[in-house]
Amino acid sequence: MVPIAILGEQSLWKPDEMDVEELKAAYKLGKRDFPRSHLPKADLHKACLADIDLSQAYLYRAILSKAHLKRAFLNRAILYGANLHQAQLLWASLIEADLENANLTNAILNHANLDGANLRNANLSHAHLVWANLRDANLTNARLDRTDLRSARFCRTIMPDGSVRNDGCY
């Protein structure tokens, strides 16, 4: 992050302008923390990024198909229109992530935390969300054809048809 001062304010944080190759190189050297990264339309197809922290990252229309993101932190990340086809997101944290219009077909999201996530118009066909937390998630108009939702937690979850599912509130 680059601190910038504006009109006498102490400091504000501006997202790092890094490219995909810089991210991959830093990850390969052991760095895992990339919060607030600015990577719109980034091509991370088949990238191995387990345990990465991309919280609050801007990944608008990023290509993350077949990416390995096990235990990744994507809290409040902007993944609007991202391609996550066949992505591995086991145990990933996507709290309040924006996944509107994202392609999550055949993605593995078992045990993922999608608390408060925006999944409007997302395609989750054939995705696996076994034991996923969908509390307060918005699935309005999402495609759930053959989606595996066994043991998923629903609480105040807005379903594709607009109904609210509460059978997992406790």
Whichever domain contains 103, its CATH number is 2.160.20.80
Residue 151 lies in a domain: yes
Q: Which domain holds residue 115?
A: 33-170
d(CA 81, CA 23): 21
Percent of the chain with pLDDT over 90: 88
Q: Which residue has the tokens 């091509």?
A: 43
Beta-carbon count within 10 A of 20 CB: 15
Residue 132 placed within a domain = yes
In a domain, residue 19? The reply is no
Q: Quick one: how far is CA 29 from the chain centroid?
A: 23
Report yes or no on whether pTM surpasses 0.85. Answer: yes
Q: Is pLDDT larger for residue 42 or for residue 7?
A: 42
Domains contained in the chain, number? 1
What percent of the chain is helix, strand and coil (3-state, nearest 5)?
Answer: 5, 20, 75
Per the listing, tokens 């145990």 go with: 91
Q: How far is 103 from 83, CA to CA, in rounded Å?
A: 5
Q: Quote the pLDDT of residue 15.
A: 58
Alpha-carbon separation of residue 97 from 3, 11, 13, 30, 167 (angstroms) = 25, 26, 20, 25, 22
Asked if residue 22 belongs to a domain, the reply is: no
Least confident of 2-11, 81-90, 116-125: 2-11
Nearest to 89 by CA among 116, 64, 107, 114: 107
